[in-house]
Amino acid sequence: MDALGGSTASASVLGYHYPENRDMLLRVLSKGTEACFIGAWSADGELQAVLPGMLHRAGGRACYNSLPFFGPNAGVLASAEDPARYAGLARALTLAAVELARGEQALSAVFYSPFNPEGLPLPNPALDEDLKPLRVPRTTLFTSIGAEAEWAADIRYDIRKAEKAGVTVQEGIAADAVGRVYEIYAKNCADFGIPLKPRECIEHLCRFGGKRVAAYTARLEGEIIAALIVLRGPRTASYYLPCGDSKHRALQAGSVLIERAVRDARDAGLTYWNWEASPDKEGGVYRFKRKWGAQESGYEVSVVPLVDDGVLKEIGSKGLADDFPFYFVYPYAALQ
């Protein structure tokens, strides 16, 4: 992955794609889950491209996904310097993944397109011509952090307010702090209807994440009131898991954590902050990200059905959710 991180498409290589996150997924999703990362090498053994993926089996069924937890961006990771060469690699790896999924009698094969803040041509003939998938358009947000940022006035005010109130930042989330962080995170998910990741996600990443994970807590008089976990690729930091105690929301401790994490990422040579997708452009989360100078970048979820529509409709949205709780198997709207 580091070799691909030096290529023209290096911003597409995210912390999600490294063994640290893969191992966490295998540990958390455990029974029925298998990593299916497909690679292409040159004749002299140099890695040319990788397509991250996971296969999950449950209830006598299976599904193939770029990566679980409803994303993140993945797709074929390869140099984009020669679009025709990229297209050939993308086609070969995508078709190989579909064949693997067919061999496992999967319901579908689902591909998330790469994070592409620079708008590079990343053609994939397998999806554009061969397979004719269902396409679900999505939008992610990112901020360029290569140069010292001058944040908006209201962001600077929030940071000063939190610091004046005594909010401090501590790097790392120790084992004895995971419980408190997860308590805050679970309450946030319940309050805003966000799918809850298992506690083991935090435990594993904070213990074994190494240089791919940056974790922080915000404290007030020694008590943890907010936390942030960031996954790092060669050039891109991903806003993986933020949370904040609702009792102290007015202090905007999350802004202090973001400012620190962005500063650390910049010092480490990263150039993009990937905010991830927001469910609603009219919502407060989307507006909050935009306050940090976030720009939109479009991507797609490409769904290749491997069984008849009738089979998927018979299973229904509840059956898919029960068997594959962290996977995008098929658009629920298409099951109506």
DSSP 169-182: EEES--GGGHHHHH
What angle is formed at CA 172 by the lines to CA 171 and CA 178, rounded to 5 degrees? 135
**Tokens standing for residue 169:** 């930042």
Asked whether the predicted pLDDT for residue 93 surpasses 90, the reply is yes
Residue 134 has pLDDT above 60, yes or no: yes
Quote the DSSP letter at residue 96. Answer: H
Could you tell me which of 276, 238, 197 has the C-alpha nearest to residue 29? Answer: 197
Cα 291 to Cα 141: distance, rounded to the nearest angstrom: 11
Q: pLDDT-derived band of residue 71, with 50, 70 and 90 as boundaries?
A: low
pTM, two decimals, is 0.93
Over 80: is that where the pLDDT of 5 sits?
no
| The pair of three-digit structure tokens given for residue 74, joined into one six-digit string | 């993945």
Q: What per-residue confidence (pLDDT) applies to 193?
A: 87
Q: What is the pLDDT of residues 199-243, one digit of tens each?
A: 999 999 999 888 999 999 999 999 999 999 999 999 999 999 999
Q: Token digits for 244?
A: 């904040």
Q: Tokens 């063994």 sit at which residue?
A: 19
Retrieve residue 291's tokens.
Answer: 């306050």
Rounded to whole angstroms, the Cα distance separating 76 from 93 reads 7
Give the full edge-to-edge strand order of the sheet including 47-51. Answer: 38-41, 47-51, 77-78
Q: Name the residue type at position 175.
A: A
Task: Report the pLDDT value the prediction gives residue 175, as an integer from 0 to 100.
Answer: 95
User: What pLDDT band is residue 8 in, cutting at 50, 70 and 90?
Assistant: low
B/e letters for 115-137, b = 16+ CB within 10 Å, e = fewer, are: bbbeebebbbebbeeebebeebe
As a whole-number percent, the residues of the chain with pLDDT over 70 amount to 96
Q: Which segment of 7-11, 46-50, 111-115, 206-210 scores lowest on mean pLDDT? A: 7-11
Q: What is the mean pLDDT of residues 291-295?
A: 94
DSSP 18: S
Q: Is the peptide bond before 133 cis (omega within 30 degrees of 0)?
A: no
Q: Which pLDDT belongs to residue 6?
A: 59
pLDDT band at 62 (very low <50, low <70, confident <90, very high): very high
pLDDT value at residue 291: 94
DSSP per position, 120-175: -----HIIIIIS--EEEEEEEEEEE-SS-----HHHHHHHHHHHHTT-EEEES--G
Residues 218 and 224 sit within 8 Å (Cβ to Cβ) = yes
Confidence of residue 16 (pLDDT cuts 50, 70, 90): very high
- Segment 7-20 shows an average pLDDT of 84
Domains parsed from the chain with CATH numbers: 2-138+299-335 (3.40.630), 146-270 (3.40.630.30)
User: Can you tell me the distance from the alpha carbon of 185 to that of 181, in angstroms, rounded to the nearest whole number?
Assistant: 6
Phi, then psi, of 195 in degrees rounded to 5? -55, 130
What is the torsional sign of CA 46, 75, 123, 106?
A: positive
- Quick one: pLDDT at residue 72? 67
Compare 148 and 170 and report the one with higher pLDDT: 170
User: What DSSP assignment string belongs to 242-273?
Assistant: EEE-GGGGGG-HHHHHHHHHHHHHHHTT--EE
Question: What pLDDT is recorded for position 278?
Answer: 78
The residue behind tokens 């927001």 is: 278
Q: Tens of pLDDT along 262-281? A: 999 999 999 999 998 877 77
Q: What is the mean pLDDT of the chain?
A: 92
